[in-house]
Amino acid sequence: MPEYSNASVVRWFEDLDTDDIGVAGGKGANLAALSRAGFPVPPGFIVTTVAYRELIDSPQICETIGRLDELDSATTDTLTAIASDLRSAIMNRSFSVSTETALTDAMATFENTDSFAVRSSATSEDLPSASFAGQHETFLGVQADAVLDRVRECMASLFTDRAVAYRARNDITHADTEMAVVVQPMVDATAAGVLFTADPTTGNRHLSSVDASFGLGESIVAGDVTPDHALVDTRTDEVREYAVGTKAVAVELQGDSTVGDETENNGPNETHPTKRGGTVRVELPSARREMRVLTDDQLRTLVGLGERAESLLGTPQDVEWALVNGQFVLLQSRPITSLFPRPSPAPDDGNLHVYISMGHMQAMPEAMPPLVQDVWQTYTGNALSAMGLGDSLGNPTVTAGGRVFIDVTPFLRRPNLRAWLIERIAAINEPISASLDDIVSQRPEEFESRGITVGALPGYIVTTGRLAWLITPAIPRIVQNILGALAGRGGPLDEESLAGIGELFTGQATAARSPEARARAVFETIDIRRILREVYPQISPLFLAFALGGWLKRTFPNQPADVNAIGRGFERDVVTRINLGLGDLADIARGHPPVANAIRDGATLAELEDVTGSKTFCDAFDAFLDEFGHRGTGEIDLSRPRWRENPSMLLAVIRANLADESAGDHRKRIRRLVDNAETAAGRLEAHADHGLSGPFRRRYVRWLIRTYRDTVYLREYPKQEAARAFTAWRMALLDAGKLLVATNHLDRPDDVWYLYRDELFDALDGKPIEVDIVTRRREHEHNVNLDAPPVLTSEGESVRGQAEKKTVSDGTLVGTGVSAGIVEGVARVIRDPKVATVEHGEILVAPSTDPGWTPLFLNAAGLVSEVGGSVSHGALVAREYGLPAVVSVLEATKKIQTGQYIRIDGTQGTVELLDAQPTIDDGGVY
């Protein structure tokens, strides 16, 4: 191509590469790289960001852009108004004569070209962390004399409402983002579509996904057709699937004529009045609507191009393509930003490995920063080593997307162990169990036995023998405590005796004198032998309680409501004590009206200290924190503050209690549960009392129910004490962060969470920290927004099995019922309990619920959660409070809106999205 006097304004593809994003924008830089590498990209040039800077070179425009960066992403109305002003101001600006000349001369080099494609290319789009797909303008079939205006519109589209909101949500600075524009001769495609070089639905990196339709690809983008859909295995070139879609219309070039009443499809989200040229929607003949768009050979050719593009650009690609005169051309290529990362480190045996999410198993699936990931990986490895499994199994943990995953492949390769594992996990988390079953069924050849060697014995076999050896000295105490519980003596399982559990985990993390020693102690080997021999005897009555619970369900299968009722109403239960304590605090505030009014007005704990009569309340609040201040949301994430550090959530719950309840309501609720349990126990005893042995069976059932109730309420105490250890670990690592700030290694104490263990130890030894903390923070924020799968393969595939195929109507979501009953009412979607709470009678809809969410159950009428199982914390609390609950409801927080009426069935495991008003008063249960 010829050179121009204003070469900085117009640049040809062959003069640019992927490093030139600041000049060409993301789309332009990728197209240039593909073109230089010999890919079939229509020739073209880029109107660079130099022209954009020229267009916004106005004090008023620059000041207005600066105002955008000062606004919070939540101020949507203000953002929209300022964005509209910016678009208008830019559209009223003119390019310089030299810029117009450069653009006109560049277009003139394309002889006999009737129309052009004009596409936006922002410097912040088509990046691995932000695609901006559909946020900016694209114009097709543009006549030469209209290209200049379309370039201006593309540059103004940097400030569309959707683009401004997207940048604000992703913390991308408006002032630092610029716009270039890609200009190419328009291609007249017979077919077009989208190619994903990794399956965007499952994340499988070995499956390419293709959508195809006749004409230009705008019919797919606009949703006017159901395109053909194909899946191709890139390892074998096998077309795994080809579904022919119904293609009623096609988008074609209009040519030189005026379209008349038609509209020009100018972009993925907007239409504009038709100008000369453009595109037109054409109805396809009925016979052609069901025709296949691409042959198998064409699919393989297209997928091959995609593989090469991915190799060149370094990540899986979302490629827009067109078929022109029987040949494929690539129109755009950008990273697929929705893929969940592959596990790291990758397996070194070349085989498929399957991992389950540690967070999902704990109903805490959120991303954790690097140092916290290292804590749990180290803990797992140390525990296995202590049990003698380090040499045979190594450390089975990997990380992906800020989560820790555990390799269960050795179990899946042994049929007996596979069945055992899937059955055991089903009792904890049905979707994970179903996912493991699905992946084994879909790819059985990957799970054939690899042979048995001494060094590779399945972990279950070795663990069983090792555990037996470790706990043998404790067996007499275990038997004694179980017999004591059966005899009604309770045994040692109480809060006082369990207090030592946390100390077994904390050790030198609290006792060591220096911050360095305390931080290192968090990662030191835990005395597993001592834990097993001291803790197992103490918690052995709980094993009895769980066994009795199962016996009751099997013995009274037709009375599930009564069996559930006898497992509720325990004032000594940790969860109940937390909520009773908060209710008592609300009652104390009621007795001091100035305090109650201050809480209603949103006063902080510090502000309450200056309120008349607040001493009684503040003293009681301090006592509550002494007992429970070590709890918090996402407790396994050590980087998260505990209630003592940030009690705002607790005050919000008290505020809601003051608004919706009366004095003593919380204790009346527990007394009702106790009364219901006694009544249910009587019915179960009466049911057993029949025949000659009836009186004996009645006394036997009464004894077992009493034993069950005397032990099952202690199920949360081990977690209560483990949480003390987590808090101790947190404070030890934060103290190390403070030390590193004092020695000028870090800027802020909480920067310590973005170091890895070895980096922390090096810094404590005085070595410089060569880490970009800001980048790691941004990576963590990105990971937080990822939808993490409960089961992940080494190929990056997210496996999501369905535990039970339920036939449901439209508008009904399916999950796992974990607490019986039906309730309907207003949904309250909460993603962060620190900034929102549940009003009385609302149904809590949450991504997950761990012990830190406990206070929100005080007002809730029911629970819907995206993760969890029958023994997860949310399920236990819901059953304790008699709240219907459904967990493992995929994307519940996205599909349900706050204020929407829903009906949940905790028995069937369904959530109905209702249009009508509720049919039950106050969100009651029936």
In this structure, are residues 882 and 860 in contact, taking their beta carbons and an 8 Å threshold? Answer: no
Using alpha carbons, select from 426, 674, 683, 668 the residue that is nearest to residue 568. Answer: 674
How far is C-alpha 317 from the chain's CA centre?
A: 22
Using N-to-C axis directions, what is the helix angle for 694-712 and 665-688, rounded to 10°? 150
Q: Which two tokens stand for residue 616?
A: 């009684």
In this structure, are residues 183 and 151 in contact, taking their beta carbons and an 8 Å threshold? Answer: yes
Task: Identify how many contiguous H helices and E strands the chain contains and give both numbers.
Answer: 35, 28
In this structure, the number of other CB atoms found within 10 A of the CB of residue 475 comes to: 14
DSSP string of 57-122, one letter each residue: --HHHHHHHHHHHTS-TT-HHHHHHHHHHHHHHHHT----HHHHHHHHHHHHTSTT---EEEEEEE
The DSSP code for 816 is E
Q: Which residues contact 482 (CB under 8 A, 6 or more apart)?
A: 491, 540, 541, 543, 544
In this structure, are residues 131 and 59 in contact, taking their beta carbons and an 8 Å threshold? Answer: no
d(CA 374, CA 283) in angstroms, rounded, equals: 58
d(CA 331, CA 352) in angstroms, rounded, equals: 34
Owner of token pair 């050719």: 301
Beta bridge partners of 913: 902
d(CA 32, CA 35) in angstroms, rounded, equals: 5
Task: Please give the order of strands across the beta sheet that includes 403-407.
Answer: 397-400, 403-407, 354-357, 791-793, 798-799
Q: Which two tokens stand for residue 787?
A: 């939808």
Pairing of strands 885-887, 862-865: parallel
The residues annotated with a catalytic role in the active site are: 873
Which strand (E) or helix (H) includes residue 542?
A: helix 528-555
In angstroms, the Cα distances linking 252 to 514, 547, 618 are 73, 68, 72
Which strand (E) or helix (H) includes residue 910?
A: strand 910-914
d(CA 882, CA 561) in angstroms, rounded, equals: 10
**Coil, strand or helix at 624:** helix
Q: Which two tokens stand for residue 582?
A: 């908060």
